[in-house]
Amino acid sequence: LSSGGVLIAHLTSATVTGSLKLQLSGKDLKNMDGMGLLRKSDPFFALMVLNDETGNWDAKYRSATVKNELDPEWEECSVDLVELCGGKLDQRLRVVVFDEDDKKKMNLINMRPEQNEVMGYAETSVNQLLGGGTLTMLLRGKDHGHVVINTAELVDYSDPKENVSKVMEAAGKIESTKIAAAEAEAALERAKESLEAKKTALEEAQAAAEEAELTLQSAQEAAFSAKEACDVVAGLFFELGLGEER
């Protein structure tokens, strides 16, 4: 924690690790100490979470006090995420600004937004804080100034559930890749078989063409031999005077 801050510890079970680094400042906060001619409020802020069992808002962190200032610049703080919100980044939080009373120091454990020392509050969450911006402080439905989120970031954050989800997602992608690879390999084998079949058919067609060519050549040779035989017979007929010379 930063110097001057107080962390209120509550035992809880969570697997998330990490912390929220936060630096806030107030702007135009409403003075709770009269008209402000002689004295201004002494603001500090608290991060509070709704207790589902009691219905109260329990303080999880309290900042140091900035004396006599309506535009305070609070010191940067670091709050454990488990202590703050049980590691749930969307858990409802309240940023409550109090006016510290020197005569009556507040009991941090029993701080309640309904106390008279409240200068204003705004509901948010860790995720919303991470988005930066400005929070409007409300009190009894009226605008009581603003709190500016100057710094809000997670430090050493790790959520095992998210890690498991990422691992499962990666495993799913690996399995999908394996299936796709197996299907591609099967398709390649089918293509090889088809190519082999076409190659065999082509070889058979070439063999049939060669055989047909040989048959044609044989037929041509037989026709030529027959013609020669006819010519010989015709010549004999002519020599015997049985026919005319061709």
pLDDT for position 174: 74
More confident residue, 39 or 128: 128
More confident residue, 106 or 95: 95
Say if residue 10's pLDDT is above 60: no
More confident residue, 245 or 88: 88
- In degrees and rounded to multiples of 5, residue 149 shows phi and psi of -90, 100
Tell me the percentage of the chain whose pLDDT exceeds 70: 80
pLDDT for position 49: 94
pLDDT for position 28: 95
pLDDT for position 66: 94
Summarised one tens digit per residue, pLDDT across range 137-190 is 999 899 999 999 999 999 999 987 765 555 566 556 777 888 888 888 888 888
Summarised one tens digit per residue, pLDDT across range 12-52 is 444 789 999 999 999 999 998 766 567 899 999 999 999 88
Task: Look up residue 245 and give its two tokens.
Answer: 């010379």
More confident residue, 240 or 11: 240
pLDDT for position 12: 47
For 29-68, give the DSSP string: PPPSSTTSSS----EEEEEEEE-TTT--EEEEEEPPP-TT
The mean pLDDT value of the chain amounts to 83
DSSP secondary structure letter of residue 144: E
Task: Look up residue 240 and give its two tokens.
Answer: 């015997």
pLDDT for position 150: 98
Tell me the percentage of the chain whose pLDDT exceeds 90: 42
CA distance 52 to 97: 22
- Determine if residue 36 is left, alpha or beta; phi over 0 gives left, psi from -120 to 50 gives alpha, anything else beta: left
CA distance 189 to 42: 80
Summarised one tens digit per residue, pLDDT across range 215-241 is 888 888 888 888 887 877 777 777 787
Q: Show Cβ contacts of residue 70 under 8 Å, excluding neighbours closer than 6 positions.
A: 26, 28, 29, 30, 31, 36, 40, 41, 43, 145
Summarised one tens digit per residue, pLDDT across range 184-212 is 888 888 888 888 888 888 888 888 888 88
pTM given for the model = 0.60
